[in-house]
């Protein structure tokens, strides 16, 4: 069942004027209030201006239309408020899934998200990935699709080797009591990398002159500042790694670890797996707290050891050339505007050859990504695979799709979606995981909880579980209500604004609706929604404020479908804020429970219930569980 009053209106008009529903929908708009409730832009709807008068008369015959008028290319429609509002409230009350129209032909979709390097805690940028990925999974499932969520553990490569080398120098992979494992791994990684960079720059500085010496000295000064901060965090560990690195050829040791791991050397495998598993344990704890569910955890190294990567290379070697001493795949022979359109590749993007294998025999991560993509499609029998990855990876993701196409996997190439998003900026902070300068998601969530708790105390209510729920919701919502195509500027004043444009504001509005129902029960009102609908005053929407709220509730199925179709949480988030604003204004202006006229009270309670249902469903799709009492 898919109940949508706005679509009923379009269908009524389409039948009246004899136009295809799809054409009419293209020309259907919401104008300024003085021009009506809806408008049809005649050229967009495929309606000849010469037939406008004829169409006007036909539209007037629709039972949901009170009057209509022509203004240039616009046919403005004023609705029958009684008929339309009754239909909206009936749908909102009777349909437990109001707003969601499930797919007739659902798809099988893999959503891979987060997939952060397992060498430091999840940071605020990964938090946006987690919020977006979990939203995508939720909205796809809400509309009836089968979804599998996966995390790609990037345990092959230079960064993991640096972390492993740090622990090797320490001679142990032990996490101190009271320290979260991913934070400890991140600290050892940052210390190892920073000390190695200092040693390298000092060597270069000893022979440098002029501007080069000045530049290196400035870089060394910054590194020393980072080193001091890291030393304060763990002086014994810093000193031990610093001392032991003096006798190590850093680059040669990293290369040895990377080669050994790809070849499955038992000693190296044991070391790296212990380090990475410790970090992943920390990830799981954070993601569970953040409400981001991962069903399948895939190890990059398993792809290498299983032979999947070598099989990909075997196919590609027949199509490659040598580029700068390494095997490379040149896309110039297949690259075209038509193929780019099919694969969703920006037409202006310059695509260089893809390096497949270094001269030392190690593979690059994009090659391993090819094997992983095929694995995701095959194991879940997926129709689509969505990779939630930052926009800075646009080129590798484009090369990945082109490589799949060249290998003969055109279906997979066309149905591999790069869900791109922009970065999160934190004022006054430039992050660097290599030097331990990151704002972790754990720190953000802890600070959010602390600030919410302080606000609740000011309001005379203290509850740590509620503060945790609101804090997590606040961070998640803030990362979702900005369009994925725009950067997020993280600001506590906006994240935790209890008065507007935030999750706390929406949660308080939802709790306010629940408070209305509690109060109604306390004064003896039976909240049987079907009975209230039968007895309500059907002219209640004559008041403009109530009418605006009715129209907003009627928009919900359209907004939900737009968010689903475009996988854009910001459209839904901004809509919920508009609903909350309108509801709170109405709540402040009119009595609801204490309304003396019983039939009007029934209508007001039903309108509050419709808003409650919209907020509840919308928040849950965004990954936020509503709170009945704050």
Q: What are the Cα distances from residue 243, in Å, to 184, 197, 199, 533?
A: 19, 14, 11, 78
**Looking at the structure, do residues 143 and 168 belong to the same domain, yes or no?**
no
More confident residue, 333 or 237: 237
SS (H, E, C) 336-354: CHHHHHHHCCCCCCCCCCE
Share of the chain above pLDDT 90, in %: 67
Give the mean pLDDT of 57-73: 88
200 compared with 145, residue with greater pLDDT: 145
Number of domains the chain contains: 4
Query: pLDDT (tens digit, 9 = 90+) per residue, 507-534?
Result: 999 999 999 999 999 999 999 999 999 9
Highest mean pLDDT range out of 4-13, 24-33, 573-582? 573-582
pLDDT at 325: 60
pLDDT at residue number 289: 97
Asked if residue 428 has pLDDT above 90, the reply is: no
Please tell me whether residues 474 and 557 are part of one structural domain: yes
Boundary-marking domain end, from 225, 257, 285: 285
Do 251 and 136 lie in one domain? The reply is no
Residue 317 sits in the same domain as residue 180: no
Give the domain CATH number at 373.
3.40.50.620
Q: What is the pTM of this model?
A: 0.92
- Report if residue 434 sits inside a domain: no
State the Cα angle at 152 between 149 and 155, rounded to 5°: 160
- Cα 241 off chain centre by: 38
Query: What range defines the domain where residue 257 resides?
Result: 158-285
- Report, as an integer, the average pLDDT of 327-341: 85
Tell me, yes or no, whether 162 and 180 share the same domain: yes
The whole-number pLDDT of residue 86 equals 95
Asked if the structure places residue 457 within a domain, the reply is no
Residues 299 and 419 grouped into a single domain: yes
Residue 447: inside a domain, yes or no?
no
- The verdict on residue 520 lying in a domain is yes
In-domain check, residue 181: yes
Q: Which of 225, 256, 285 is the last residue of a domain?
A: 285
Question: What's the pLDDT band for 324 if we cut at 50, 70, 90?
Answer: low
| Residue 302 confidence class, pLDDT cut points 50, 70, 90 | very high
Structural domain contains residue 422: yes
**How high is the pLDDT of residue 112?**
98
- Give the HSE-up count for residue 134: Cα atoms under 13 Å, Cβ half-sphere: 25
* Domain co-membership, 66 together with 145: no
The answer to whether residues 340 and 350 touch, using CB atoms and an 8 Å cutoff, is: no
Range with the largest mean pLDDT of 72-76, 161-165, 433-437 = 161-165
What CATH number did the domain enclosing 14 receive? 3.30.1360.70
**Mind listing the pLDDT tens digit for each residue in 452-466?**
998 888 887 778 899
Choose the final residue of a domain: 285, 301, 319. 285
Tell me the CATH number at 499. Answer: 1.10.730.10
Residues 590 and 532 in one domain: yes
State the Cα–Cα distance between residues 99 and 92, nearest whole angstrom. Answer: 8
First and final C-alpha spacing in the chain: 34
Same domain, 200 and 314: no
Residue 379 pLDDT: 97
> What's the mean pLDDT when you consider all of the chain?
91
**366 located within any domain:** yes
Answer whether residue 6 shows pLDDT above 80: yes
Please report the pLDDT score of residue 15 as a whole number. Answer: 84
Q: What is the average pLDDT across 88-117?
A: 94
Mean pLDDT of all residues in 236-241: 95
Is 17's pLDDT higher than 90?
no
Same domain, 74 and 128: no
pLDDT at 323: 60
Strands 74-79 and 65-71: antiparallel
* Residue 531 belongs to a domain: yes
Which residues make Cβ contacts (< 8 Å) with residue 600, sequence separation at least 6?
A: 536, 537, 540
Q: How confident is the model at residue 197 (pLDDT cuts 50, 70, 90)?
A: very high
Examine the pLDDT at 361 and tell me if it is beyond 90: no
My answer on whether 52 and 163 are in the same domain is no
Residue 270 buriedness (CB in 10 A; 0-12 / 13-18 / 19+): exposed
Burial of 104 (0-12, 13-18, 19+ CB in 10 A): exposed
> Do residues 317 and 192 both lie within one domain?
no
C-alpha distances out from residue 481 to 435, 468, 474, 504, 619, Å = 31, 20, 11, 13, 12
Helix H or strand E encompassing 560:
helix 544-566
């Amino acid at each position: 069942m898919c109940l949508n009053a706005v679509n009923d209106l379009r269908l009524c008009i389409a039948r009246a004027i004899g136009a295809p529903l799809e054409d009419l929908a293209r020309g259907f708009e919401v104008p300024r209030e003085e021009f009506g409730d809806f408008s049809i832009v005649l050229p967009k709807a495929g309606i000849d201006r010469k037939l406008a008068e004829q169409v006007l008369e036909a539209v007037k015959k629709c039972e949901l239309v009170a009057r209509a008028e022509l203004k240039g290319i616009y046919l403005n429609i004023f609705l029958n408020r009684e008929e339309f509002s009754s239909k909206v409230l009936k749908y909102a009350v009777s349909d437990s899934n109001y707003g969601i129209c499930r797919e007739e032909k659902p798809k099988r979709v893999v959503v891979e998200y987060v997939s952060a390097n397992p060498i430091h805690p999840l940071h605020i940028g990964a938090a946006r990935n987690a919020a977006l990925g979990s939203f995508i999974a939720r909205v796809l499932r809400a509309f009836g699709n089968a979804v599998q969520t996966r995390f790609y553990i990037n345990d092959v490569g230079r960064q993991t080797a640096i972390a492993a080398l740090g622990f090797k120098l320490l001679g142990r992979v032990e996490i101190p009591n009271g320290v979260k494992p991913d934070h400890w791994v991140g600290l050892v990684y940052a210390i190892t990398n920073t000390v190695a960079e200092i040693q390298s720059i000092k060597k270069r500085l000893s022979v440098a002159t002029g501007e080069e010496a000045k530049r290196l000295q400035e870089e060394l000064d910054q590194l020393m500042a980072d080193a001091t901060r890291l030393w304060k965090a763990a002086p014994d560990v810093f000193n031990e790694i610093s001392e032991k690195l003096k006798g190590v050829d850093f680059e040669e040791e990293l290369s040895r670890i990377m080669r050994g791991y790809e070849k499955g050397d038992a000693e190296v495998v044991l070391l790296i797996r212990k380090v990475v598993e410790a970090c992943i344990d920390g990830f799981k704890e954070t993601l569970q707290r953040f409400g981001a569910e991962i069903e399948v955890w895939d190890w990059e190294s398993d792809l290498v050891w299983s032979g999947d990567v070598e099989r990909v290379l075997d196919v590609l070697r027949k199509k490659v050339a040598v580029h700068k001493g390494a095997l490379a795949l040149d896309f110039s022979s297949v690259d075209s505007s038509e193929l780019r359109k099919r694969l969703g590749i920006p037409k202006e993007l310059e695509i260089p050859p893809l390096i497949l294998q270094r001269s030392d025999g190690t593979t690059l991560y994009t090659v391993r990504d090819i094997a992983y993509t095929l694995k995701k499609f095959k194991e879940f029998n997926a129709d689509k695979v969505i990779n939630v990855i930052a926009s800075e990876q646009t080129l590798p993701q484009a090369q990945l799709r082109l490589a799949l196409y060249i290998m003969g996997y055109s279906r997979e190439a066309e149905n591999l979606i790069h869900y791109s998003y922009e970065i999160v900026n934190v004022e006054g902070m430039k992050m660097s995981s290599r030097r331990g300068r990151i704002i972790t998601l754990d720190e953000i969530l802890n600070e959010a909880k602390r600030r919410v708790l302080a606000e609740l105390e000011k309001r005379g209510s203290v509850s740590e579980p509620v503060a945790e729920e609101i804090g997590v919701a606040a961070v998640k919502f803030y990362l979702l209500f900005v369009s994925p195509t725009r950067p997020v500027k993280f600001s506590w004043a906006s994240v935790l604004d209890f008065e507007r444009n935030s999750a706390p504001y929406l949660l308080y509005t939802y709790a306010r609706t629940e408070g209305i129902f509690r109060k109604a029960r306390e004064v003896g009102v039976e909240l049987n929604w079907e009975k209230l609908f039968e007895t309500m005053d059907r002219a209640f929407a004559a008041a403009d404020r109530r009418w605006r709220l009715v129209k907003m509730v009627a928009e919900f199925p359209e907004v939900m479908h737009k968010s689903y179709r475009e996988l854009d949480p910001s459209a839904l988030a901004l809509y919920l804020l508009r609903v909350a604003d309108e509801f709170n204004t109405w709540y402040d202006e009119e009595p609801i429970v204490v309304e003396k006229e019983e039939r009007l009270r029934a209508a007001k309670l039903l309108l509050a219930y419709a808003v409650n249902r919209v907020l509840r469903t919308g928040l849950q799709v965004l990954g936020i569980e509503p709170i009945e009492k704050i």
